[in-house]
Structure 1
């Protein structure tokens, strides 16, 4: 990621907690932030006093929870910005931290995200004002009969539309969940590490449309952190051997097509993703065929398939064929969600984007242990990240090792 003067931006340290079922561990969000932030700083080999700005993301919390969180790392008087962008909160914090470095405002920044969630489906916090997704929900309800809860309703409805338009089957959506649960077996940070058969995925409790329970991401507690630095900072601290360059990064919010297309697929963000991906490919000078490993926003299995098409891994309507060909797992053209993805790794909203960045950094360093994608660890390795939040915003980023 560069500004117009060509200033380069690098990830030099990453860290995350285990993602766990809400209430299953005795901790609060400052504990989560301390654990993830300390790990990221230690990974970078720098102290908190070298961080010049911090961007802290969370969806559920009080107004200055970001300050309280990073105070666990130190009290240095730096600017601390609280960030909330629904499920893309973590990657939005990373986007802002990278922008500060790219723009020459800082040489070292911290992006940190966390979430302490309630059990069960997501609900509204306030009932005395319009919900930010109300326009999206109403537009979806004009296309398909309304159901609750809102998130699985919208993504399930998008799956129904894809099936009606292209013939995508329930089995193809379910195979995505089979893959991601299988991948998570090798991730010690994952909330779930159980493997399921296709029959077990299809036979779990029906949620909406093609979605069953095992095709839906769970609510989770956890935190992630990323240290971002300039090229000068990397050189001064001798970090080139572990640094990962952000070679492209874009954030896109809802476009006119979101509502004009009369499509649930557009309403859940496919055009946002497509636009952001195109910008990132142009910035990085790559195309989808150059990518080795991908962490994308599989909040529901239907969204992973939609995202294959929006990222340009295949043409519209061909996502099901990509699944059937095993082209998104080990031995295929790409490895998608080697971490287990949101479906199995977990989805603490403010931490998700930073956990994705952490996984891709480990992959490019060749440090992902049993999850390692061999081609990602090569000097030419390329990683792609996708994180979306309805209401709406999407962040897409591309990464390469600084040197091998």
Structure 2
């Protein structure tokens, strides 16, 4: 089961052995005679690179184009920054939303606000996606790769055996986990993305913080020490201390999804698209038993985000690169969402476009593995991580993941951890001023 599941989870979090950057368009197959001699350069992370190759071929055929696609294996964002710092030219590349302002400030990418058709494109997106893809000035800087949020999953069979409902508060999560373990239903009832590598622990923590109503940062980028933030930290520490999570939760591969699909755990906080994996009978022992509910907590919110396709600061040809961006991150010249619809139907990735998420084929597909009413309600309550617009935030985020992991493992003081997180934010803000 594990090998099949790992193939489905082959993503930007896994290092692809034996694969370097893919060569130019000549390696992707023949191109039309009219294609330009200068190739557009496109770099991406490790999510289904073979399908990205196919999408590149479709684009080249549709537009009589020439594209050089490079796969960046490993920890994508730091490696991409190394390439950009070294002067490598890229016409289009991926990024999570919290790198957009940072890379724009470094003059590696450009705004697309003034390009043809942008107003119509923005009108077709969900507001939270427009916010995610915009610079602090409000200018649109990218098109959506996919839109997602962290969801709260539960094994329905486990809860039925225990005679309990899905918990609505974090105190109830703890009590339910204790009962599940005491009754012998699950030895590690709670599960989540606690791994330090991007973006697992980060997205897990922010989703839980937002669910309890913690702001984490104010509008001026100041770290906020508040009871809601401390409560979530202490819940995580308690889950680990009492053995309500598996001891190796911080090092599990595949965001911990293979472990959850084994049927060992009851609850999981995870990217919403992984709900499809957990209910896939080809790779999961609990297919058909995994349900989604609103996040527990005082507000029931979660973290929502939109990953992006970005245009390089100096495109070889603005019109050609804009066509490439729209093909991957929107509608192609033939009016089809070639890339986005495929991601949705095959892998359960949500879209930043209203039209895509209302597509009958996608509605039918998604309804087979998640409760659409619950997911719609959760999205309506979701919080966008505005602090991601701060150019220093990625560095604080990496520091936070390391510190929170150590805090959970060691059982150390919440006061000490919160002080370190606040001091690091202050330090980084001053360095970047």
Shorter-chain TM range is under 0.3
* Greater Rg over alpha carbons, structure: 2
Q: Which one has the bigger helix percentage? A: 2
Higher relative contact order (CA 8 A, sep 6+): 1
Larger fraction in strand? 1
Q: What's the TM-score once normalised by structure 2's chain length?
A: 0.25
